[in-house]
Chains A and B, each alone.
Chain A
Amino acid sequence: MFSHLLPEFIVERRDDRCIRCRACERQCSFEVHRYDEELDRMFSDEKRCVGCQRCAVLCPTGALIVRPHPGEYRRNANWTGERIQDLKKQAETGGVVLTGSGNDKPYRIYWDHIVLNASQVTNPSIDPLREPMELRTFLGRKPDVLELRFNGGDYEDVEIATELHPNVMIETPIVFSAMSYGALSYQAFKALAMAASEYGTLFNTGEGGLPRELRKYGKNAIVQCASGRFGVDPEYLNCAAVIEIKIGQGAKPGIGGHLPGEKVTLPISVTRMIPEGTDALSPAPQHDIYSIEDLSMLIYALKEATNYEKPVSVKIAAVHNVAAIASGMVRAGADIIAIDGLRGGTGAAPKIIRDNVGIPIELALAAVDRRLREEGIRNKCSILVAGGFRCSADVVKAIALGADAVYIGTPALVAMGCTLCQKCYTGKCNWGICTQDPYLSRRLNPEIGAKRLVNLLRAWSLEIKEMLGGMGINAIESLRGNRDHLRGVGLEDWELEVLGIKGAGE
């Protein structure tokens, strides 16, 4: 515990409602609540409270209110409370301030400055309750031309002469982001796998491997090959739908990862293929990739290892020169370009990196899509985007800007219970999502978690269909890159230019 810090939250207990059941005490892994038997009273240590709201929602009598602490330093636009507290933490420890989940700083969220179109008069809107509305999407490289061979003059008997690159079909353009077993609890990880499998989409193993008994979900897995190479073996690669080389992550571009030894339990050590209790360190770069040629070699090594049967994705963080990098990746053989933006989530990252490095995904996506089209290679890859997608409208806008599909991480975690307290790195997640403590992770039932995730996918898909129908479109491919259906509101000219959209009213 740090000294001289103001508490971030205040815990108000309405004593007339409290029945001393001590549920809050049992639920809180941060040990905020304590029962004093002699006084028959509940006490709270507010300094420990992270505001995860677990106690408040589980209190059977609704006796608890947890809200931001009213105690403040003198107001100062430059020296905010957060800055002061971070300084105090650093003064006390001499360390890097850690945090979890995505960038919470008020950078412009472009999705909130882009509006969608709808059909009126000249073009009928299509009612998804009455007409088919198609979201099926293919991820992978497409040829420029399809060569066909016709047997007989009636064009009924047709053979495909072109040799096709592998593509993976998903039923909705929403895929679960890379979140490893290790960062996530086994239960949360399994729930993602089950949900992806049930809905017909993909989950991403992150860099922590895929436990052997979960390889039956391989058909719906994107397996990562990251700088630590944890859990990578031929079976791991071959059981998957897609292989992803992780170069970077939106929450921490340019730096690696560190799963502390205390989280490396026996099953995690087996899955990651490292000794139990040792730190799992992912270096910042992949040490066999110091250039684009090196990337190409790894891409083709992975393709060789899987008999060219699986698309290979390369995931990078959205950085300044993202368009040129993406173009190089496609030419190096990547079938899928995954881009993670400034607001991408994480289980643990230095706060200074999370809050200051990278560019917003909206601008990165628009720039990459444009660049690949200018070079005539847009159909040689699929674009997957990640980083701060909050709702189905964000997904629709991303697809209209040019994405093939969207990675969602935080929304999936929220569906399973996460409240964005940003303490993922502590391993004390009260919701059983981001922890290896069996007492906590047991709180998440994988079947129920999967059900909630499937519901989320379904709800977003239904909303996407409504928006598509409104635009007079009945197949998602007709929205892809269709920037005519977007207009900017409250954006500068340079922003409209980068996004390649008109301003509203234009």
Chain B
Amino acid sequence: MSMAGMDVRRVRGGARGMRRERLPDKEHQACGLFGVIDRSGRRFGGRVAIEAVMNMRVRGNGLGAGFAAYGIYPEYKDYYALHVMFQDWDLDAKREVDKFLEANFDIVCSEEIPTNPEAPVIDPPLIWRYFVMPHKKGEERRLSDDDYVVKKVMHINTKIENAYVFSSGKDMGVFKGVGFPEEIAEYFMLEKEYRGYIWVAHSRFPTNTPGWWGGAHPFCILDWTVVHNGEISSYGTNKRYLEMYGYYCTLLTDTEVMAYAIDLLMRRQRLPIEIVAKILAPPMWDHIDIMDERQKRLYTTLRMVYAPLLINGPWTIIVAHHGEMFGITDRIRLRPITAGEKGDLLFVSSEEAAIRAVCPDLDRVFTPMGGEPVVGRLKSREKELRRRAEEVV
């Protein structure tokens, strides 16, 4: 856990005896992204994602890589799967987490995540997984299961030193660390151990050097994962707006801001990605001004109300949660994104070459416009959404 946010220092001259909170530094980075979904729900091993992201080696520098996979724990699919990292093999932290989880959850399984000790990674922390069911007491009964889990995860991340929750969704998991993507994949044995219907991969090029396993991507809250490439020039604006809604950026990465913005808009405010895209990367006023009255009113209102969530600067993200994966780039496309389709498979990637490396005979390849999301949904989910929409009418 980065403690920069809590770092304080004495005032120079000190006569007033006052302390100034040291304002935290933000990380800067560039990255390679890859995501694939099988829209029929068929599950497959990690190899596609590993080979694709390996093909973008120059987009990383070995200081961080990670994967998210959905549909990997069918035997425990009704339980929240918590992947928890213990920095420096801190067993006191583990004991504390065990105690905390026992007090707040029913734990149905608790085990070390299988790893390959031969893999060429340096200083891996202890990584444990727990399959749990919320055990709510008193006032907390009023919280939804999801909100309860978020609250408990935040507690572990901020209050228990050396413990950090990698992922906390059902039937999914995040595997990440310091190294090149193939090294991380080898360490967690992703190719053989897991089969999922969505795989997201990330290779990182941080421009400062926090070699910290928790700092790698994907960033995860419940079953939502975000991988991100870019630097957000609106970081301060976004961060301070999100603080009003109880999101405190403790990781100091742009990705965190993205993840919270998406959590606020999509999970809490229940807006679909088609609308959220127009908030994060809205069309230009010149464009809005020539729309028909109805559209103009919608887009103007979105920009007016959600102005602090416009994400400015160069970025591409791939976001996934159960049943849906999407990729989107900034409003003037300052970071690359390419999409490809082959049957039920939809690929989103920083580079077409990465997609071609794993699927040479694509049905279709396209480069979306800035702010235009590429959305892959499970066919079952598409049907469900259509049914719900029709009910409203």
Contact A494 B11 (CB under 8 A): yes
| A155/B332 in contact, CB under 8 A | no
Q: Is B310 a contact of A123 with CB atoms below 8 Å? A: no
In the complex the two chains form, is A122's CB within 8 Å of B20's CB? no
Q: Using a Cβ cutoff of 8 Å, how many contacts connect chains A and B?
A: 143
Which residues 222-267 of B sit at the A interface, judged by CB distance below 8 A? 230-231, 233-237, 240-241, 243-245
Q: How far is the CA of A378 from the CA of B242 in the complex (A)?
A: 11
What is the CB-to-nearest-CB distance from B49 to chain A, in angstroms, rounded to a whole number? Answer: 26
Taking a contact as CB atoms under 8 Å apart, the answer to whether B11 and A160 are in contact is no
Report B286 CB to chain A, min CB distance, Å: 6
Distance of A475 Cα from B280 Cα, bound (Å) = 12
**Could you tell me if A132 and B306 are in contact, using CB atoms closer than 8 angstroms?**
no
In the complex, the answer to whether B393 meets A151 with C-beta atoms within 8 Å is yes
- Kindly supply a per-residue 1/0 record for chain A positions 103-122, scoring 1 wherever the CB is within 8 Å of any chain B CB and 0 otherwise: 00000000000000001001
A194 to B385, CA, bound (A): 52
- Could you tell me the distance in whole angstroms from the C-beta of B279 to the nearest C-beta in chain A? 9
Interface size of A as a range:
35 or more
| Interface flag for B305 (CB, 8 Å) | yes
Interface of A is mostly: loop
Q: Do B389 and A160 touch (CB < 8 A)?
A: no
A149 at the B interface (CB under 8 A)? yes
Interface window among B23-31, B127-135, B151-159: B23-31
CB under 8 Å from chain A, chain B span 275-313: 275, 284-286, 297-298, 301-308, 310-313
Q: How far is the CB of B238 from chain A (nearest CB, A)?
A: 8
Q: Given A373-B244, A496-B20, do A148 and B304 touch, yes or no (CB 8 Å)?
A: no
Chain B residues with Cβ below 8 Å from A472 are 231, 233, 312-314
> Are the C-beta atoms of A123 and B233 separated by less than 8 Å?
yes
Is A474 a contact partner of B332 (Cβ separation < 8 A)? yes
Tell me the bound Cα distance from A152 to B18 in angstroms. Answer: 59
Query: Is A373 touching B243 in the complex (CB atoms < 8 A)?
Result: yes
* Complex-state Cα separation, A286 to B392, whole angstroms: 51
Query: Is A40 engaged at the interface, CB distance under 8 Å to the other chain?
Result: no
Asked if A17 is at the interface (CB within 8 A of a chain B CB), the reply is no
When chains A and B are docked, how far (Å) is the Cα of A480 from the Cα of B310? 11
Min distance, Cβ B140 to any Cβ of chain A, angstroms? 22
Contact with B along A492-503 (1 / 0, CB 8 A): 111011001110
Q: List 17 A-B contacts (CB under 8 A).
A: A122-B231, A132-B286, A136-B285, A148-B271, A149-B392, A152-B393, A158-B275, A160-B297, A164-B301, A373-B240, A373-B243, A379-B241, A379-B244, A379-B308, A475-B310, A477-B237, A478-B313
Considering the complex of A and B, which 7 residue pairs feature the smallest CB-CB distances, nearest first? Answer: A478-B234, A482-B236, A484-B236, A477-B307, A478-B312, A472-B233, A155-B274
The chain B residues found within 8 Å of chain A, CB to CB, are 11-13, 16, 18, 20-23, 25-26, 28-30, 207, 230-231, 233-237, 240-241, 243-245, 269, 271-272, 274-275, 284-286, 297-298, 301-308, 310-314, 331-332, 334, 385-386, 389-390, 392-393
